[in-house]
Each structure stands twice: as C-alpha cells, then as structure tokens.
C-alpha cells in the first residue's frame, strides 16, 4: 500500500468526523440557543472557518516563515483542540440531561421557555469548560518539559558506572509551531543536567531539511561526556530520513541505524544499540533490524536499546537486552488520548515497565502533534539513572 493511500485512509475519516463535530457544535451551541439570524450567521461562519482553517493549519505554519503565519497556525490548531473539548463536554451534558429526564419523569414536558433556558445553560457550561481545559492544555504544551528522574537497575552494569545518567529527548516534532527558540531552551535545560549521554529517540522533525534546518541546527549545542545519539522515528521518515540523518551527523550527533556501540572504557562499559523505526519498511526502507543491531552482542554485558516505538519489546526482552528506551506514544498527549494509548499499548504506553529481566522506559516526549495541547500527559525530559542490577 502506497504512502499516499495510507494517508488518504487516515485523513478522509478524520476529516469527516471533524466536520460532523463542527456541525453538531454549531447546532447545539448556536442554533439551539438563539433565534437571532445575525448570531446564527456569525456562528456558522466561525465554525465553517474553523473547520477549513484547522485542516490547513500546518500548511500555513510550515510554508511561511512570517510571525503572522506562525501565530495563525497556532490559533487554528488550538481551535481544533477547543472543538474536541467542547464536543466532549456538550455530549456529556446532553447525555446527562437525557438520563436525568428519564429518571425524574416529570409529569408534564417543560415549557419552551424552560427548554431554551436549559439549552443556553448547558451550551454556556460546555463552552466555558472546553475553553478552560484547552487553555490549560495549551499552557502545558508550551511550558518547559518536566525533568523526570528514573532510577533503573541494569543487569551487568559495572560498579564503576553506577549513577551513569542518560538523558532522553524524544518526539520533539520541530516544525511549523515549535521552532528555534524551543530548541535552544530544550538544549539549555538538557545541558544543565550535565548528562553522561544524550539519547534522541526519534520524531525530531515534521518538515524537510531546507524548511527546518536552521531550527534543528540548535541541537548541535547538546553536550554530554559520552556524546549524543539519535535513532529515527516515523515522522523523520515522513520528512526525508536520509537527508535528516546526514544533517544530524553534521551536528556531531551519532546516528545509530541498526548497529551497536560500546559506551565507556576498557575497564567499565556497556552496549548501546539503536534501531530504525519499527514502521520504516512501509516507506520502502530496510527498516528495523534488531539482528543487525545485536551483532557481536554478549548477554552478560549491560545493554541499552534505543528504539522509537515500544513495539517488539517482548522479543527484545527475550533476546536479553537489559533496557529499551522509547517514545512515540506521547502518553496519549491529550485526554482521552491517554486512556486510548493505554488500551493500545498497555503498560508500555508511558513510564517504566518490565518483562522478565528486561525493562522499558517510554517517554511522553517533549513536543506535540496536532493541537498544541497537553492534558493529563505532560511533556518531559527523562533523566535515566543507571544502577548495577
């Protein structure tokens, strides 16, 4: 199946659902609460413009470099998130109203005036609640990521490497919204942690090198005693993986594409493995190759695998890798996405989990895709502290 066909199979139903949401909200929040022709026309224009604009928001922000285009793109993507939360609250209130009416069984139907009052009250409540959650989510998305300390006991780790700090950056999604200022702040926060090693586990960008190279160049300032390492994510393939891996190498960051390196010195070291994204084969690439990454692997040595997606962790654990570090899920990014992510990924949707003697840490990531919001899934910089197992 071609990349464009897969995109259409995704975009068509998403666009249809988004259109239905806009129609429903217009009817419930505007048409059902006012008889004013002018207000109805204004509401129709708002929801129609919001639908069209939100669908083209990334194109606006990515194609033009002006501050106006950047700001317009943010507003349109925030609108998409606002629609989601207004829809959720409106549906909940409507369902609750219907259930309450059936339970109470009033002796007579409410008057038209009372129905209009209730409709206006529910519409106002849903709008205010949706706006409040969206405002918080937007603030959280643009607020600097939290630093999370994760102690991990790694089998085979030499005592001399106790306390080795590996800082993970993932799912940055540099693009039309997140640009150079975000990169510089992220790099400064990372360097301030004085890491022994930095791992960038994919989805670095949403755009091509000519579009985003001037922003991504800021990652060249990352500093760690044992260097910075990068593995590819699915969005890096959307954006031109060969050009980006070459660009990242030029920044002094080591790219691990299905290979292994030793970290440390002769007296104390561990294996660091990196694989291409799990879905890379869809793009006609050789893709994820655990066998190639594990060439020369010795099960008695401490080992860490960098893999963008949590996929295939059961096999990784069976092969004896001590720790896998991944991203991709965003922890769901926005409620109820976190609930859905847990349904799809189980305990590997976010945080630290274990299979046998192997562990996996899945970061919620630093950036975002779609609406610039984070609700119940805060962004993070993960500082993994390795301890002898």
Q: For 99-122, b where at least 16 C-beta lie within 10 A, e where not — what string?
A: eeeeeeeeeeeeeeeeeeeebeeb
Instruction: Provide the sign of the torsion angle of the four alpha carbons 234, 364, 222, 226, taken in this order.
Output: negative
Dihedral sign, Cα of residue 255, residue 258, residue 264, residue 266: negative
Q: Which two tokens stand for residue 380?
A: 């993070």
Q: Are 310 and 344 in contact (CB under 8 A)?
A: no
C-beta separation of 372 from 334 below 8 A: no
71 vs 177: CA distance, rounded Å: 8
CATH 3.60.21.10 residue spans of the chain: 145-388
Residue 64 pLDDT: 43
pLDDT reported for residue 101: 76
What superfamily would CATH give domain 145-388? Metallo-dependent phosphatases (3.60.21.10)
Query: CA–CA separation, 374 vs 335, rounded Å?
Result: 8
Provide the greatest CA pair distance for the chain.
86
Q: Are 199 and 166 in contact (CB under 8 A)?
A: yes
DSSP helix/strand/coil, 97: helix
Per-residue pLDDT at 285: 72
Q: How many CB atoms lie within 10 A of CB 383?
A: 17
- Residue 17: HSE in the Cβ half-sphere, 13 Å Cα cutoff: 9
Q: From the first residue on, what is the mean pLDDT of each consecutive set of 10 residues in the chain (389 residues)?
A: 65 88 96 94 96 75 62 90 97 89 73 81 95 98 96 98 98 92 97 98 96 97 98 96 97 98 95 96 83 95 98 97 98 96 96 97 96 97 97
pLDDT in the model for residue 118:
84
Q: Which residue reads 């507003």 in tokens?
A: 75
Quick one: CA dihedral 368, 370, 373, 376, positive or negative?
Answer: negative
Q: What is the pLDDT of residue 252?
A: 98
Q: Please tell me the distance from the alpha carbon of residue 376 to that of residue 373, in angstroms, as a whole number.
A: 10
Phi, psi for 154 (deg, rounded to 5):
-105, 115
Contacts of 86 (CB under 8 A, 6+ apart): 25, 29, 126, 127, 130, 131
pLDDT at residue 2 in the model? 57
Are the beta carbons of 334 and 369 closer than 8 angstroms? no
Residue 63 has a pLDDT of 46
């Amino acid at each position: 199946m071609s990349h464009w066909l897969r995109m259409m199979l995704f975009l068509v139903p998403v666009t249809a659902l988004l259109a239905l949401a806009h129609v429903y909200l217009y009817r419930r929040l505007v048409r059902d609460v006012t008889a004013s022709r002018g207000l109805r026309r204004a509401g129709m224009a708002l929801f129609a413009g919001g639908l069209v604009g939100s669908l083209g928001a990334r194109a606006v922000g990515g194609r033009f470099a002006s501050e106006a285009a950047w700001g317009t793109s943010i507003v349109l993507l925030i609108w998409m998130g606002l629609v989601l939360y207004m829809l959720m609250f409106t549906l909940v209130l409507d369902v609750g109203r219907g259930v309450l009416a059936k339970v109470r069984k009033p002796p007579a139907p409410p008057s038209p005036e009372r129905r209009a009052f209730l409709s206006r009250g529910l519409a106002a409540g849903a709008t205010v609640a949706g706006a409040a959650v969206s405002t918080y989510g937007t603030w959280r998305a643009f607020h600097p990521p939290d630093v999370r300390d994760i102690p991990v006991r790694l089998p085979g780790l030499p005592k001399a490497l106790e306390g080795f700090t590996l800082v993970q950056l993932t799912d940055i999604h540099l693009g039309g919204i997140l640009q150079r200022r975000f990169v510089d702040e992220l790099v400064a926060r990372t360097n301030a942690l004085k890491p022994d090693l930095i791992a960038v586990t994919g989805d670095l960008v949403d755009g091509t090198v000519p579009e985003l190279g001037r922003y991504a160049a800021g990652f060249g300032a990352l500093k760690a005693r044992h260097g910075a390492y990068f593995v590819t994510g699915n969005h890096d393939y959307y954006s031109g993986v060969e050009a980006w891996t070459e660009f990242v190498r030029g920044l002094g960051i080591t790219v691990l594409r299905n290979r292994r390196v030793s970290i440390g010195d002769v007296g104390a070291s561990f294996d660091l493995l990196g694989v291409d994204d799990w879905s890379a084969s869809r793009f006609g690439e050789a893709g994820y190759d655990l066998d190639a990454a594990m060439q020369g692997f010795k099960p008695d040595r401490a080992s860490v695998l960098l893999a963008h997606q949590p996929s295939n962790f059961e096999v990784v654990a069976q092969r004896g890798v001590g720790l896998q570090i991944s991203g991709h899920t965003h922890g769901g990014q926005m409620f109820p996405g976190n609930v859905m992510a847990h349904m799809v990924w189980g305990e590997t949707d976010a945080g630290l989990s274990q299979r046998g003697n192997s562990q996996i840490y899945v970061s919620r990531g630093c950036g975002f895709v779609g609406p610039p919001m984070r609700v119940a899934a805060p962004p993070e910089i993960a500082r993994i502290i390795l301890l002898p197992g």
